[in-house]
Structure 1
């Protein structure tokens, strides 16, 4: 066995043990079959989908982990139960689930190409008043089945009480720990399609476009944004909202070179890191010891390049790998947004900043631990 295969086997064994401790089963097939019963108190969210995945003929599945061309589209209406706990996904123990206790799908269907996608997006935007016509685009990470990406995004949208129209870009991950190389190549192959999706969204009637990427999804996201930058045909910068890179599985040196190519952005990238991220530690091992951006301890240089770093190392994770902490930010999203909008500055004294943050004031934000609604965060900016 080669050193590379031996390294990959060791990492996959390690991650499999972690996954087994945190999740008994995964929603592979049938979990997107529509549930007809509407549960009392449940909240429904309509999510638009753009994907490079192949359609799956198995009932209640929609898309597989195999690659397909051209870019495909769908719309899914999912339901979050009234008993939902912040930061969690109430997975069904068996397909298609119970709308009173589980995340379930109420309606799902494919869309016929770009025109249908754009029409559906504009129809959703038209339901919102002027000034609130925003889009939140989410790009998931490695080892993620389609249903998992959909439900995770639904949890984030629900917990954040996000008024934006949610759009999921899902690339062809096979949802298997042993498929790291396949997933990496799938993410890379999806760059052009993500660029196309971003341009479609900017061509819509959206007033603001925000982007959230997780894990390996950051690789395809930053690559797509880089392509847009060097094309010389950038969409209107006035529509661009926040770009949040959560637990990015990107080589730190590669990202720094990408940022230098971008130049100091007019609007900063927000990078969510955690030094205890076990999944990124495994990725670093596969990569021959090269540090991953989402677990990087040297945040100063990132700040100098124009990023705002949100360090969640001190936040207790709800998953065994510490890789999904970004989902816990959803609960405090409105408060965190208000903090960031006030600007980042040093307080007169560290003690007063901590007191203000804990007591609910959102004026102070510094490169020191702060508690915003109970989450201890460290925020670093230049």
Structure 2
């Protein structure tokens, strides 16, 4: 299934854009229990990231760059009062109430790629072979990226396996230059992640990229084309570039190298 389309769009699913976050803590101190009837959904998000592990266990990964990929899986619950397009986040000092807020209920780390691939492949097989890779944008903490992908999956009713590729954003509006360099440094690791998915049981791999994540994505597709396998062995489906942060002439150059989608 060769690449069908490359979209450049502004998605309604990205209501919050690149706005800052209330907290960069993914895990709370003590989650309160909530009736099943007050939980709208529970989603497993697989993670491949160029971020370093945080010294704060509640943040899990921070904004520092790692020389190698780190892997994890995060289980996230969506509150029953959730409104489409929104991410209901707790503010500092508020209780960790899954009936009111998006909450990470479990984080599982994988110390090797084979262990991660094994868990990922099992999930892909159970979900029919479809994968969505999300590449977040500028000014985005790890927690915000996890919750954004959860919101997209939940609101769209996506049936496949969600994979977050999280590059090392500083998560501050003043860190644009740092973020741009972090995004550029992550190109090879995004290709490694996509090649890993190519070797999995996935039948179709779609990519959704936002803001500066579109730069990482297009640069990776460009270098994949140079290697001679631009569509992941025919498994690459649609590529969605939401609110792209790419100069138009650079984009034209990237597309000339990539070629016309089939």
TM bucket (normalised to shorter chain) is 0.7 to 0.9
Instruction: Describe the superposition over 1:119-165 as per-residue Cα deviations: whole angstroms up to 9, x where unpaired.
Output: 1111112223xxx3200000000000000011011100000000010
Other-structure match for 1:60? 58
Written as runs of structure 1 = structure 2, the 5 A alignment for 1:12-51 is 26-29=22-25, 31=27, 35=31, 37-41=33-37, 42=39, 43-51=41-49
Give the deviation of 1:250 after TM superposition: 0.4
Q: Which structure carries more strand by proportion?
A: 2
* Aligned residues of 1:35 and 1:105 also touching (Cα < 8 A): no
Residue in structure 2 matched with residue 238 of structure 1 by the alignment = 234
The 5 Å alignment of 1:78-97 reads 78-94=76-92, 97=96
- 1:286 is aligned to none
Q: Give the alignment of 1:102-117 within 5 angstroms.
A: 102-117=101-116
1:182 maps to: 178
Cα pair distance change 1:61/1:32, threshold 3 Å: farther
Counterpart position of 2:258: 262
The reply on whether 1:218 has 2:214 as its aligned counterpart is yes
1:92 partner SS: coil
In the TM superposition, what are the counterparts of 1:1-382 in structure 2 within 5 Å? 26-29=22-25, 31=27, 35=31, 37-41=33-37, 42=39, 43-94=41-92, 97-128=96-127, 132-234=128-230, 236-266=232-262
The TM-score, its normalising length taken from structure 1, stands at 0.60
Q: Shift in Å at residue 38 of structure 1?
A: 4.9
How far off its partner does 1:97 sit?
A: 2.1
> How many residues are treated as equivalent by the alignment?
242
Q: Render the CA deviation track for 1:266-291: whole Å, top value 9, x for unaligned.
A: 1xxxxxxxxxxxxxxxxxxxxxxxxx
Structure number, greater radius of gyration = 1
Q: Judging by fraction of residues, say which structure has more helix.
A: 1
Which structure would you say has the larger RCO, counting Cα contacts within 8 Å and 6 or more residues apart? 2
- How far does residue 221 in structure 1 lie from its aligned partner after superposition? 0.6
Looking at structure 2, the residues matched to 33 and 137 of structure 1 have their Cα atoms a distance apart, in angstroms, of 29
Give distance in 1, aligned partners of 2:186 and 2:30.
Answer: 28
Q: Structure 2 CA distance, aligned partners of 1:30 and 1:259? A: 37
Residue 233 of structure 1, CA deviation: 3.8
Distance change (3 Å), C-alpha of 1:126 and 1:59: same
**Counterparts of 2:34 and 2:203 in 1: how far apart (Å)?**
32
- Quickly say closer, same or farther: Cα 1:27–1:260, change in 2 above 3 A: same
Alpha-carbon distance in structure 1 between the residues aligned to 2:137 and 2:106: 25
**RMSD, aligned α-carbons:** 1.9
Unpaired segments of 5 or more residues in structure 2?
1-15
Q: Structure 1 residues 207 and 127, CA, compared in 2 at 3 Å: closer, same or farther?
A: same
Q: Which runs of 5+ in 1 are unaligned?
A: 1-18, 267-382
Q: Distance in 2 between matches of 1:33 and 1:218?
A: 34
